[in-house]
Chain A
Amino acid sequence: MVRYDLRHLGENFYDRMMELLETGTKPGEVAIFLFEIGDFSPIQKSADLVKEAGHELLNSLKFNEVDWTIMVRRKQ
């Protein structure tokens, strides 16, 4: 299980997240990402990105007023 904090990237964290999903995790491992909510669009966008990449979205929670966190299990 690995945790990545992408809040410092602000809006454009999508490619870094996908890159981490490819390199930073082992197959089948759970990764937890933390990113800023901004205008609430990243929530839906990150879920779609994960779905189309084939990984399994375990959970998607509001971390606090300004941050959102998602749990992704990488595909085998």
Chain B
Amino acid sequence: MMRPYQPKKNVQKKAYYTDRFWVAPRIPEEPVPENSPYAEDLKAVKKACKVLNAYIQRGQLVIYINPEENVAALKALKETRGYEMLSELSAVDFLAQRGGFEVFYQLLNLSEARRLRVKCFVKENQAVESVNPLFRSADWAEREMWDLMGVKVNNHPYLKRLIMPDDWEGHPLRKDYPLEGDEFAQWYEVDKIFGKEARDIIGPENRDPGRVDRYDTERFARLGHEVPRGAPAEMADKEEETPLSYQEEEGVFLIEKFSEENSKVLDKRK
């Protein structure tokens, strides 16, 4: 009886061996100290929307909010708390574990050199409100997030694939997208230029740059044993010796041969 097909949620490389009793240590998540500037930031966000969780990790405040209130939180932080720059905006794929993405906004307060990360959990088909009106840098960041991760963004001015070609199918940075690319990716050029039916004629892509095929006369010229290009394999044993000769050997008109002896090698610069 065939095993039922399990959807491969995470096809990235996994650890080959894990000790059965290994518990990975966690980075300490300190509570927000009372009178610190981070506490006021937290209060400002709490006024604007519901904060699920907030802690300080490696010196940066991390705030968890609901995805619906991301514009409200960022507006509050920008106007009242002086976080004028959105340095980073992207998503982390937790489809296998929790069926959604963690979208994070990395903010920077220029005047007081403080950084803050606002995170929200977006379910798979849930869309995120675009932050473009507040920060123009979100325009490209959201396009790249949509392109590579597949997190939909509402009323974005020009939501189109940014890095992949426009007609690409699938989102490459997802965990269920193999590193070598799925079937569509491996045959993308062949399908576009020659069509699906040319797949078996052309054959799969050779991803091993070092592979040299002894009888492949299309891609390799056998110097010293010339065989016409595209010659069939059985021509292989009928190659005659074609010695390599350069025209410079017996000297070229007007060009003096370069001689190593009377040339000087500069060892000191300038």
Direct contact of A and B (CB under 8 A): no
